[in-house]
Chains A and B, each alone.
Chain A
Amino acid sequence: MESVEYKCPNCNADLKFNPANQKLECEYCLSSFTVDEIKKLCATTENSIPQEAVQLQEDFANHTHLYRCKSCGAEIMADDQLTATFCYYCHNPVILAGKMGGEFKPDKVIGFKLTRENAISCFKKWVGKRWFVPKDFKSQQQLEKLTGLYVPFWLADCHVNVDVRAVGKKLRHWVSGNYSYTETKEFRVVRSGTMVTRGIPADGETKIEDLLMEAIEPYDYRELKDFSMSYLSGFYADKYDVDKAAVFPRIRIRSNQACSALVRSTISGYSSYIPSNENYTITNTDWSYTLLPVWFMSYKYKDRIYEFAINGQTGKLAGTPPLSKGRLGALCGAIGMGVAAVIMVLGGALF
């Protein structure tokens, strides 16, 4: 007897048939599809991996090494020329762990455009505005920790069915004699159709804070290239440890936010707007596993790791600067004492 497995079009996890609603459901990303929808989608899906793709995966596996940090468990991917020195997350030495599996071969890559000098310049400019960072945070030694890193990202193109229904009210006021009049016009507002959010990225790396990676977006996808090991030369790279099923909830939230914002931008001129139905259903998701360039730096201060990232393509910087509470406290204390002294003098308490 032949066994048939259907994969979720959004996250590629197994779909299970739910007799209650007669739909195939994904337990990971909570998508659901009718049997007809799945049949249509599967008809366009290629079932076998082409021979060239298998060859590429083998090449990737043979020329890529995996380094593992014994301290924090981070896994770092590098080409066979690289001698790994330290973990860029926790700054402990890393050791060679083995070959990288072919399933981690990325589809696309954006090469670094920002040189190390440019990245340092961006960082210096950013940190220059912050007076209360610890002194050694600005040191040359710290700047040397700036690491060029290819971060694994899942890029998702989400096909979204939109169905929004609402009641909008327009009010008009006027006064005549001793009476004030209000005219209320109620409109049935309907927005339905399809939208495609393209290239919403989600990093597939648990070690890096998701918000940090979201903060250095966007990347210019016009510069996406097919992956080649040559891009890794001179830089570090991570392999994903979060699969697309796990990042899909994040993607779905951002896709829905984008669609919702656009729909709302088309509804204007109303004094009030009461939605009765707002459905954004992702019917299909196209994935691309991509390496994106990030200049990355971590800084350990008082038992806490502070992470900084600079978009290796655009130079956009994000991160939480460490705060030297002692220095800030001393300055605030001095200002507070100054204020108190002025009040005492003006109030006549000192003489």
Chain B
Amino acid sequence: MKKSSNGLRTFLIIAAIIAGLCGLDYLIAFHTGSKNLAVGYSGSSDASGVIDENGIFDEDPAALRELDQLVKDTADELDMNILIYLPDESKRYYSDDAVRDFTANEYNRNFGEFTDGLLYYIDISGKSPACDDIAKSGKASLIYTESVCQSIFFSLDEFLPPSSGPVYPDQISNAITHFCPLLISNYSDPDRSEQFHDDTADVPTYTYTKNGKLYITKSKPPMKKLFICIFAELTGGLVALIIYLASRSRYKFKSKTNPGIYLANSDVRFTENSDVLIRSYITKHRIQSSSGGGGGFRGGGGGGHSHGGSISHSSHHR
């Protein structure tokens, strides 16, 4: 009777601890978030369009205006800023990281930090290989994921010129006129599980959705926090359990006296104490020769870069 009440008491204590931890986890995960930095879309597509730094449409400004309008219409339809950037030769020697740094800063300069939108950098600077980049901010980071962007890049490859070849306005027009519908067709509400962490920004941020609303925060998303809390509690519990068991083992009776102390050598009389060789044999085995081994290789990462806001990138080499 007493044992069962002790068991019930232990069970209730454990249940209370687990309930307390669950409550604590909930508070930490869902009520300790920092300020939402997301700005969203301004509602105006004025800043959207095409920047022809390269001057490839200098001969045909009407075509540029047409493309510009197409981009603005797409921006309005998708409720996000869209900028297409055609770089000149001065960016020919930009490294891939420098390109990404440039696009991020260019996006922020045009639309502001933490807004919804993207900048498509079509590398016609003469850099080889050409490094196209889509810099995404806000909800675009969650919608146009890496796989979506790569499929867009591959779709556009057939319209864009090779990196070392000449560039014609028609090629760019075709690419842009296909790019905008691709943005529309790939648009979908951000997946709840999708999140993005920009650790290259001046202030690292997390982009995620909660209850259908976009959040850009300096603190981790709630589910990530919840995971960390559970992991921390499990680790802490494991450490506590190990210490408990190790300490408890010191409270167990272990000492035992070796009975060998009751047998003195003087009380030992061997009538026979022999080690006689009875047989000897030799076995041999062929040694299996083995060869192999090999080298490894190491891949190197690019250098870091910094920018404001929260910008993700998808890059592609032509």
Using a CB–CB distance below 8 Å, which chain A residues touch chain B? 130, 132, 167-168, 175, 178-200, 211-212, 214-218, 254-255, 257-259, 261-262, 266-267, 318-323, 328-329, 331-333, 335-344, 347-351
Considering the complex, give the chain A residue whose CB is closest to the CB of B248: A323
Tell me the smallest distance from the CB of A276 to a CB of chain B, in Å. 12
> Does B28 touch A at the CB level, under 8 Å?
yes
B281: chain A residues at CB < 8 Å are: 183-184
Chain B, interface residues (CB within 8 Å), range = 35 or more
Residue from the list B236, B252, B258 in contact with A339, Cβ < 8 A = B236
Tell me the smallest distance from the CB of A169 to a CB of chain B, in Å. 10
> Does B285 touch A at the CB level, under 8 Å?
yes
Interface segment out of the listed B63-71, B74-82, B133-141, B269-277:
B269-277
Interface segment out of the listed B51-59, B118-126, B151-159, B259-267:
B259-267
> Does B32 touch A at the CB level, under 8 Å?
yes
Tell me the smallest distance from the CB of A130 to a CB of chain B, in Å. 7
Given pairs A189-B274, A320-B252, A328-B247, 16 additional interface contacts (CB within 8 A)? A178-B289, A184-B280, A187-B277, A190-B274, A190-B276, A191-B273, A195-B267, A197-B263, A255-B262, A258-B262, A323-B251, A328-B244, A331-B243, A332-B247, A349-B28, A349-B220
Considering the complex, give the chain A residue whose CB is closest to the CB of B219: A351
The reply to whether A262 and B284 contact each other, CB–CB distance below 8 Å, is: no
Tell me the smallest distance from the CB of A271 to a CB of chain B, in Å. 14
The reply to whether A215 and B255 contact each other, CB–CB distance below 8 Å, is: yes
The reply to whether A185 and B263 contact each other, CB–CB distance below 8 Å, is: no
Do A329 and B244 contact each other (CB < 8 Å), given the known contacts A187-B277, A192-B272?
Answer: yes
The reply to whether B250 and A200 contact each other, CB–CB distance below 8 Å, is: no
Do A217 and B257 contact each other (CB < 8 Å), given the known contacts A195-B269, A343-B236?
Answer: yes
Residue from the list A194, A198, A333 in contact with B269, Cβ < 8 A = A194
A259: chain B residues at CB < 8 Å are: 263
B32: chain A residues at CB < 8 Å are: 350-351
The reply to whether B228 and A347 contact each other, CB–CB distance below 8 Å, is: yes
Complex alpha-carbon distance, A194 and B273, angstroms: 12
Tell me the smallest distance from the CB of B220 to a CB of chain A, in Å. 5
The reply to whether A344 and B232 contact each other, CB–CB distance below 8 Å, is: yes
Complex alpha-carbon distance, A190 and B270, angstroms: 10
Residue from the list B256, B278, B285 in contact with A180, Cβ < 8 A = B285
Residue from the list B270, B275, B286 in contact with A192, Cβ < 8 A = B270
Residue from the list B220, B257, B264, B272 in contact with A218, Cβ < 8 A = B257
The reply to whether B248 and A168 contact each other, CB–CB distance below 8 Å, is: no
B29: chain A residues at CB < 8 Å are: 349
B248: chain A residues at CB < 8 Å are: 323, 328
> Does B213 touch A at the CB level, under 8 Å?
no
From A130, A167, A188, A216, residue with most partner B Cβ within 10 Å: A188
B225: chain A residues at CB < 8 Å are: 348-349
Considering the complex, give the chain A residue whose CB is closest to the CB of B257: A217
Q: What are 5 contact pairs spanning A and B, CB under 8 A?
A: A193-B268, A193-B272, A323-B251, A339-B239, A341-B236
Tell me the smallest distance from the CB of A181 to a CB of chain B, in Å. 5
Complex alpha-carbon distance, A318 and B253, angstroms: 8
Residue from the list B241, B259, B286 in contact with A179, Cβ < 8 A = B286
Complex alpha-carbon distance, A167 and B237, angstroms: 52
B286: chain A residues at CB < 8 Å are: 178-179
Residue from the list B233, B259, B269, B289 in contact with A340, Cβ < 8 A = B233
The reply to whether A186 and B285 contact each other, CB–CB distance below 8 Å, is: no
B287: chain A residues at CB < 8 Å are: 175, 178-180
A198: chain B residues at CB < 8 Å are: 262-264, 267
The reply to whether B247 and A343 contact each other, CB–CB distance below 8 Å, is: no
B188: chain A residues at CB < 8 Å are: none
> Does B15 touch A at the CB level, under 8 Å?
no
The reply to whether A257 and B259 contact each other, CB–CB distance below 8 Å, is: yes
Tell me the smallest distance from the CB of A282 to a CB of chain B, in Å. 13
The reply to whether A196 and B229 contact each other, CB–CB distance below 8 Å, is: no
Considering the complex, give the chain A residue whose CB is closest to the CB of B2: A303
A257: chain B residues at CB < 8 Å are: 259-260
> Does B282 touch A at the CB level, under 8 Å?
yes
The reply to whether B275 and A189 contact each other, CB–CB distance below 8 Å, is: yes
Q: Which 9 A-B pairs have the closest CB atoms?
A: A336-B240, A340-B236, A343-B232, A193-B270, A336-B236, A347-B228, A254-B259, A349-B228, A215-B255
B282: chain A residues at CB < 8 Å are: 181-184
A329: chain B residues at CB < 8 Å are: 244
Complex alpha-carbon distance, A323 and B248, angstroms: 7
Complex alpha-carbon distance, A77 and B77, angstroms: 103
Tell me the smallest distance from the CB of B17 to a CB of chain A, in Å. 8
The reply to whether B262 and A200 contact each other, CB–CB distance below 8 Å, is: yes
> Does B187 touch A at the CB level, under 8 Å?
no
Complex alpha-carbon distance, A175 and B289, angstroms: 13
Residue from the list A132, A181, A189 in contact with B284, Cβ < 8 A = A181
Complex alpha-carbon distance, A168 and B262, angstroms: 28
The 0/1 profile, CB within 8 Å of A marked 1, for residues 181-205 of chain B is 0000000000000000000000000
Residue from the list B236, B244, B259, B269 in contact with A337, Cβ < 8 A = B236
Complex alpha-carbon distance, A196 and B273, angstroms: 17
Complex alpha-carbon distance, A338 and B275, angstroms: 62
The reply to whether B253 and A340 contact each other, CB–CB distance below 8 Å, is: no
A217: chain B residues at CB < 8 Å are: 257, 261
Tell me the smallest distance from the CB of B252 to a CB of chain A, in Å. 7
Complex alpha-carbon distance, A137 and B216, angstroms: 59
The reply to whether B278 and A187 contact each other, CB–CB distance below 8 Å, is: yes
B28: chain A residues at CB < 8 Å are: 344, 349-350
From B243, B247, B259, residue with most partner A Cβ within 10 Å: B259
The reply to whether B257 and A215 contact each other, CB–CB distance below 8 Å, is: yes
The 0/1 profile, CB within 8 Å of A marked 1, for residues 22-43 of chain B is 0000001100101000000000
A318: chain B residues at CB < 8 Å are: 253, 255
Do A347 and B277 contact each other (CB < 8 Å), given the known contacts A180-B284, A254-B262?
Answer: no
Tell me the smallest distance from the CB of B74 to a CB of chain A, in Å. 37
